[in-house]
Chains A and B, each alone.
Chain A
């Protein structure tokens, strides 16, 4: 029987998956000591132990070693380490006894197998702890039955159950019986002060494999008989395939087959290089690109939209027009950002093997469930026919929320009837993007008696746009008359979520504007932010997703840590603060001038993300988000000429490198609140922190990214 309990991340069925348990296990003939003591002469590889299914998340071996399955895709955000930590904490086992494995797509046993929106930890915080706590209670109950005592007399400590008589049983000794028991309801979760694993620095669980080059990633995945595929796609968005000549391609050594599918041509080879070389030898004719737009056209059209009647209201408080009429002064500035590719270091790739029996898929994907469903739809198969193995993912940043490359692999395998690994070349990856939308924000402020009385933001973008929720982030609520409007420019160029969607540049625009407002009001930018937040605190009418109090706290601590306003001679500071992905962040960037050129030397970052599950991993995310944000603000741009993306490899497309990387100092607000997002929130504020610091250093105000493009050296 399945009962529903919405707070659980597992279905009840996952606990009853105990096939084979009654057959008993093999006595493995070694002690926990031998398995876990690094000095032991007989090192036992935990991967070779005989684990027993406890449920879909947990397996326990007789010596007490525990395997925990991590259900969500790992794209570098660290959930393969932090999510199992939540289970291990409540299961009450030492982390050293835990082996973590990546779960395959399993919609029957797992909910929400997705990596997006920095929600993995936030949404699993209670459910995964309940998973561990429920298993722990069942182990206690089984031991109690065996001892003939009441379960309430039993306690656990690091994988061992003890009763009031002092008798002990290891989890591994009772797992078989425990897994068959009724599942208890309302198990008690630990008091955070009793946490032994949560809040500790835990290393990336794959680090040994990563540093020794073991196969982990989609590109490393291999299957018997597998061939390699590379596709030729239309060079410009909006172009169609007219004709092609594959004579030369077929003559390339190692090329097995060439065929058209849709507007694309697949080249199959017996190795990646052969397939790539075959693709290069193809001659294709494409439809005309005369009507397709270039970057200059986007620029003009977006500018027009900002003052057109196509703008639609997203949020409106009070009356911004009246505020402007009553104002002593209205200031208005426009902020602009280009299309950006995701440029994950592991290019898009996927394995597919379509047979009459089933559809096997394997590779890097942030949305395994949705992608498997789309593949089933494409091939007109039952969803149950599709099996998807999740590999470790060489960067996601939102690109792998879209499974176009998995569908392509499935289609190529379906046509060729072969197990196929589809590989994008770097150029394919950069040209086949779902780019961060090109966007312009025009922001105006109505000022009266040296106070902000109205705030008006207009957005024009290609692709995704500001929604009501994002239009309600800081500084919404901080000014009585407030309005956000947005308009869309249609384009053939595909756009998609890019790390901290919309916020990644919305925050830059707004937090740069607040700096400009502070200049206009002749006020300190930190004080101005704190004052604006006072207004939001008094506003009881608008129920907000974010907290002005928590925002003030991060701002104050960032100012304190950075010694705001008292930086050393020649060091110029810029401030920024933003709320996104349920976390509050404040940052200070420091810039110095080297030969007159502004260089970012240091960034201070203060975050309130509730409980920090794994500080070591969490700091890594903050550092990475900041460096990523600076790199793209300074250098990132994908220009288009008649629908054709221009910078297709790292010779032309500049990513930040070590020489341009500042020191990053990170701090967390001490908190017992439930954890919130961390993979994205450090990125949005940093663009403005840098722009504001550059203004302080040079007097030049940068409103258009990438900043270095517009710097006069």
Chain B
């Protein structure tokens, strides 16, 4: 099997996997970054969202062969002590219920704020609409994104 050199959370990793393996499964099964979740495998739910060069990207649709030579950030690398403004806002609003989708929500929200530090309600809805929360924590997610923008 071919090897691939990946840069994840500012560290280099070499993996030996089939070339069409989605980054999602490389992260989870080969490298143990299990914070990135599998939800649908077709880019419809957002549970697997990571940052590629700072942009929210569905890791279930990105093949490992396309992930070389770019900076990848996962939820584990978003901050050193879980204290990124978005993570802090999630705590303040006690957002999660089951919690499964929340890493993906946080990665989408943090990418939004990177590019748009003062998003309007419409900006937030538009950016977050690709992330499903089956528990229905959307009210709190929206409030938390607004809080994070102020932190």
Contact = CB atoms under 8 A, between A and B. Distances in A.
Interface in A298-356: 343-347
A626 B141 CA distance: 15
A203 B101 CA distance: 18
Query: How many A residues are at the interface, by size bracket?
Result: 35 or more
A620 B137 contact: yes
Contact of B35 (A76, A213, A394, A621): A213
Nearest to B132: A655
Given A211-B103, A254-B1, 8 more contacts: A219-B37, A222-B32, A254-B17, A277-B18, A394-B37, A623-B140, A650-B44, A658-B124
Contact of A271 (B17, B98, B140): B17
B122 to A, nearest CB: 9
Contacts of B141: 658
Contacts of A620: 94, 97, 137, 140
Contacts of A392: 98-99
Contact of B142 (A75, A626, A631, A658): A658
Contacts, number: 193
A228 interface: yes
A656 B124 CA distance: 16
A657 B129 contact: yes
B99 A628 contact: no
B102 interface: yes
Given A345-B101, A345-B133, A658-B142, A204 B35 contact: no
B45 to A, nearest CB: 5
A115 B55 CA distance: 38
A214 B35 contact: yes
B148 to A, nearest CB: 11
Contact of A213 (B30, B44, B74, B128): B74
Interface in A649-676: 649-651, 655-659, 661, 663-664
A217 interface: yes
Given A395-B135, A657-B132, A254 B140 contact: no
A417 B115 CA distance: 51
B91 to A, nearest CB: 6
Contact of B41 (A425, A658, A664): A425
A616 to B, nearest CB: 5
Interface string A591-604: 00000000000000
A626 B136 contact: yes
A605 B96 CA distance: 20
Nearest to A423: B38
Given A77-B97, A213-B35, A347-B38, A663 B17 contact: no
Interface string B85-120: 001001100111111111100100000000000000
A208 interface: yes
Contacts of A423: 38
B21 interface: yes
B138 interface: yes
Contacts of A276: 41
Nearest to B86: A211
Contact of B44 (A77, A627, A651, A664): A651
Contacts of B136: 623-628, 631, 656, 661
A658 B34 contact: no
B87 A628 contact: no
